[in-house]
Structure 1
Amino acid sequence: MSETIITNPVIWADVPDPSVIRVGSVYYMVSTSMHTMPGCPIMKSVNLKDWEIVNYVFDTLEDNDAHNLSDGRGIYGKGSWAANLRHHDGTFYVCFSSLDMNRFYLYRTDDIENGKWERTVFEGVWHDPSLLFDEGRVYVIHGNGDIRITELTEDLTAVKPGGINGLLLIGEREGIGLRIEGCHAYRLNGWYYLFFIEWPKVGHKRRRQVCYRSRNLLGPFERRVVLDDDMGYRNRGVAQGGIVDTPEGEWFAVLFQDHGAVGRVPCVVPVRWEDGWPVFGEGGRAPRSFEAKLPEAPARPLVISDEFDYAENRLALNWQWNHNPDNRLWSVTERPGHLRLTAGHLASSFESARNTLTQRTEGPACSGRTVMECTHMKPGARAGLAALQHFYGTVGIHAEEDGVRYVAMCVRGGDGGDEIVEKIRYDGDRIHLKIDFDFRDEADIARFYYSDDGAGWRAIGRPLQLKYTLDHFMGCRIGLFHYATRETGGYVDFDYFRYSRG
């Protein structure tokens, strides 16, 4: 077996709450997607470092005013949380809870890369769940602090009547701020292992990985801190996730680390076993890089450039919409080689606008640019390029009542609406727009530019201090948008989206 060098983070972008399995020689991962659609991305790798998106679990989760972003609030920071991926008897399962719906969802397919997923819905939130298949029975282990176990029927469509359903264990309270959550459950070599994170208020005061083990499903459990390290980065603990083995019997943990405005980034940590306990890292530390007996593979981009040359009206998997899209109002085939966005809904601000098309941003630095034709915008319409987070920033065209157009840079104002930082009259029919992102050492700065020819760039507005907040609970995204503030109708055409990473 050849060896490869794994360097952390393996993805310097927002891929939170990773859940990884191996099937044969291939690894699959699912992660939290919240308010972006399609949701629950399925990623594939042969070496745990080079990942590509191959599918999504669902196109949309629910069809209601909040998920459609038509209620003025949306589901920012809600939607799908901490999805768990498992494979059993030829079927793939993904489960998660949604706080806004107060529901637990369980999806299944026999073709993880190409198949459609069937779902079962349970009422109530089963926080940070993990499926556990054990001797012909199946359980969901879930909760925060007080951890519960719920047995399902053999076909996983209902809570099993008369089955196990109750408190499994009580997490530590003394000196703990955030008690155990983020369960990943396994049965290995006669032991039951439950992995969690917790966030102590004492000691290093950072997120850390803990393991509970027992010879019996219902305990009693022994507890051990298996990793308390920040990889030398700002006291941000590397924690939350599960373990996975190689065909040759090596073990690794796939966890994540908070990295400021770019989001929560996945890291891989070697694992060995001593006296039935998993030992994470090297000398108690998560290594920045290490050798693994895994094959080399071509790197696949997580964020892509796109010329919008599509034979059918279906976007590359790298794109996700902010909330449910209105599919009547976008097209990559109506004008070949262009993304057309039609303003079909009134919005009070960029954050409340539908049909913003997004991708992740990446560290240590990245840049996205586009060219947009704006002659068919209606008065009051706004369109352009955005840094999407709660404290957002946009650069683009504002069409006014008198037919005059302006290029403007906006931020989120104190009232939640768009605050214009700078506005300049623009008489051209096409405009080039660019945002540069700098995430080095959490500088977390976005800078905004425009050009009439794509060569001579002019800064506009001011640099935006990006912030990771729980309002969106997501790393900053870059997006293409068009929305109406006065009358619907009209459209803009984006010729391309070009992306580079520094």
Structure 2
Amino acid sequence: MLRNRLYKRKISFNKLISMSMLACILLAALALPANAYTSDLGNGTYQNPVMYADYPDNCVIKVGSTYYMECSSINYMPGLPILKSQDLVNWEICSYAYDRIDVGMSGIDQAHADAYNLSGGKNVYSHGCWAPSLKYHNGKFYATFSSLDLGKTFVCTRNAPMDFGGWDFTEIKGIGYAHDADLFFDTDGRVYLVNGGCNVTELNADCKSVKAGGISKKIFDGGSSHDGNRIFKKNGYYYILSTPVKESGPYQRIEKAWRSKNLTGPYEQKVILDDGANHQVCVVEDGSYNWAILFEDKGAVGRVPKLAPVTWVNDWPMIGVNVKVPATYNKPVAGNGIKSPGTDDDFSAQGYVLSQWQWNHNPDNSKWTTSERPGWLRLKTSNASNLLEARNTLTQRIQGPTSSGWVKLDAANIKSGQIAGLSDFHSKYGYIAVKNDNGTKKLIQYNVDGLETSVNLTNNIVYLKLDVDCNTQIAKFYYSYDANRWTQLGSNLKMDFFYKLWFVGYRFALFNYTTGSDTSGYADFDYFKFSPNVTGEGR
């Protein structure tokens, strides 16, 4: 210590000033929340993907100067996330079309509601909300989606302007399950739903029921794998886009366009994108139709949205550059600064969590609070046999290409049989947690394949961290008692994404449940922090 003091006295005044300025900059940087990956390169260009996170089945419209993008949410609640942007590159969450799916809502009975509430051994993993459509017409937003488990198609509506809450949720009567459907308001005032492979069904003007005597027919045969239907009209042509499986070679999706001067055909077709895992194109309804949003299947992180130019060739919308999605390209417009969905949360908001979070199923609102201990998220305890059956698991997307998330946990009130912590959440999950084993609290790292490692907990205040590398598909788990020196615990998790299991990517998840009979305990989380880099055993 004395040597350090003597050395500091020899530093020149100018160097002290420089070091002071540097220290201020570093402190300011540390005080700011760590943003996720950004696509905006800051020089008028962008890189793909536009978000390195799971925002699939994109449907994008433009209202005024603002673009809105809607994505699938499958089992997660609130559902149907809607994001906004000024430039198609920088996106922020601005709404969800519904908070939950439960009994008493339009078309929902108790048996199906039980699955959304993780009741009676039921769940809706890989089901729930599929492939939505977002449209704007006469001052109102329309969000439609289908649900295979419910066997129904729904429309959610709200008046402009876009904001959280205020949505009406209604089953579209008379249509049942409409696969990957797209809503379409024609220029003559009629409204249709296009789905399947390929069917068109005329709706009444309010979009809440099938129109009696209206058009209802298969307009062409797009095959059984006719996914991601999108319809728009330009220069007198109706264009229907979809993503079938490529006819020869290994399994691969391609993008096709069908066009006709009449809605009911006849249609001609053309391949407009043939680029590996990039597919399910939405040509953006901005008046010029010169941009397209699509997604790429990207392993553990999920399905990530990409942006590509549209080149019109003989009235065909060719996607990308030479029918490939570019790695970098000029931004559509200048925009208004770099933006992204949130990450960090100090849980200081009373009665709610920030918009980046979603519950794994319908939350039990009696079992969580940010009010009982202000500045902390309290997850109360419910009984479950394993993490996938646990209520009130709070999740947000992992980010690529790498990311790290960590929490401060107060385990003082974790009772016997209770497990609470941080998970790399998916069907093939892993976690690091505090477990009360018959009165002895342990730090436990567990992977769903059965590998488990534990050490005794030495302090009720403990920090838990998860590092994920989306290139190697590896997750690592750490703990600390001071949030500075970290110790890795247990085995690496090999993240294994198979879309038919859940259709969504891995997530950071905060959880608390018990395998015992005592549900009086609870877990308190002071914060969640994020880094776009894996931090390992360092700070």
TM-score in terms of structure 1 length: 0.92
Structure 1 residue 303, shift from structure 2 partner: 4.2
Task: Say whether residues 1:339 and 2:377 are aligned partners.
Answer: yes
Contact kept? 1:373, 1:431, Cα under 8 Å: yes
Are residues 245 and 119 of structure 1, via their aligned partners in 2, closer, same or farther at CA, if it must alter by over 3 Å? closer
Output aligned runs, 1:64-79, within 5 Å: 64-79=113-128
1:87 equivalent in structure 2: 136
2:525 equivalent in structure 1: 494
Output aligned runs, 1:320-339, within 5 Å: 320-339=358-377
Q: Larger deviation: 185-194 or 272-281?
A: 272-281
1:260 equivalent in structure 2: 299
Contact kept? 2:98, 2:169, Cα under 8 Å: no
Q: Deviations over 1:2-61 (max 9, x none)?
A: 983121000110000000000111100000001110000010001111000011000002
Paired with 1:349 and 1:371, the residues of 2 have a C-alpha distance of 23
Q: Larger deviation: 216-225 or 469-478?
A: 469-478
Task: Say whether residues 1:216 and 2:267 are aligned partners.
Answer: no
Alignment partner for residue 155 of structure 2, among 99, 103, 106? 106
Structure number with greater Rg is 2
Alignment partner for residue 387 of structure 1, among 424, 440, 452? 424
Q: Deviations over 1:142-194 (max 9, x none)?
A: 11xx311111112222111111112121025xxxxx63221101111211000
Structure 1 residue 391, shift from structure 2 partner: 0.5
Task: Say whether residues 1:371 and 2:411 are aligned partners.
Answer: no
Q: Deviations over 1:259-317 (max 9, x none)?
A: 0010000001100212211121112221111113402332223241111112x211111
Contact kept? 2:283, 2:289, Cα under 8 Å: no
Contact kept? 2:342, 2:355, Cα under 8 Å: no
Alignment partner for residue 448 of structure 1, among 473, 477, 496? 477
Query: In structure 2, the residue corresponding to 1:489 is in which secondary structure?
Result: coil
1:485 equivalent in structure 2: 515
Q: Deviations over 1:371-418 (max 9, x none)?
A: 1111111110000000000010010111022x21010011214xxxxx
Paired with 1:54 and 1:150, the residues of 2 have a C-alpha distance of 30
Query: In structure 1, the residue corresponding to 2:366 is in which secondary structure?
Result: helix
Q: One-letter code of the match for 1:321? A: W
**Mind listing any 5+ residue stretches in structure 1 that lack a counterpart?**
173-177, 231-235, 414-418
Structure 1 residue 432, shift from structure 2 partner: 0.8
Q: Deviations over 1:203-262 (max 9, x none)?
A: 4642111100000010000000001013xxxxx2x1103111557x46111000000010
2:345 equivalent in structure 1: 306
Q: Deviations over 1:98-148 (max 9, x none)?
A: 1111110011111322451112203621000011111111110111xx311
Alignment partner for residue 120 of structure 1, among 170, 182, 185? 170
Alignment partner for residue 291 of structure 1, among 330, 344, 355? 330
Q: CA RMSD in A?
A: 1.6
2:84 equivalent in structure 1: 44
Paired with 1:447 and 1:3, the residues of 2 have a C-alpha distance of 35
1:422 equivalent in structure 2: 453
Task: Say whether residues 1:270 and 2:323 are aligned partners.
Answer: no
Give the structure with the larger strand fraction: 1
Paired with 2:464 and 2:437, the residues of 1 have a C-alpha distance of 19
**Mind listing any 5+ residue stretches in structure 2 that lack a counterpart?**
1-41, 104-112, 534-539
Are residues 62 and 291 of structure 1, via their aligned partners in 2, closer, same or farther at CA, if it must alter by over 3 Å? same
Q: One-letter code of the match for 2:515? A: T
1:410 equivalent in structure 2: 446
Q: One-letter code of the match for 1:356? A: T
Are residues 148 and 274 of structure 1, via their aligned partners in 2, closer, same or farther at CA, if it must alter by over 3 Å? same
Structure 1 residue 201, shift from structure 2 partner: 4.5
Paired with 1:88 and 1:119, the residues of 2 have a C-alpha distance of 17
2:31 equivalent in structure 1: none
Task: Say whether residues 1:130 and 2:182 are aligned partners.
Answer: yes
Contact kept? 1:339, 1:493, Cα under 8 Å: yes
Query: In structure 2, the residue corresponding to 1:169 is in which secondary structure?
Result: coil
Paired with 2:250 and 2:446, the residues of 1 have a C-alpha distance of 39
Alignment partner for residue 169 of structure 1, among 200, 214, 220? 220
Q: Which runs of 4+ in 1 moved over 6 A?
A: none
Contact kept? 1:33, 1:79, Cα under 8 Å: yes
Give the structure with the larger helix fraction: 2
Q: Deviations over 1:478-500 (max 9, x none)?
A: 01111011121211111111111
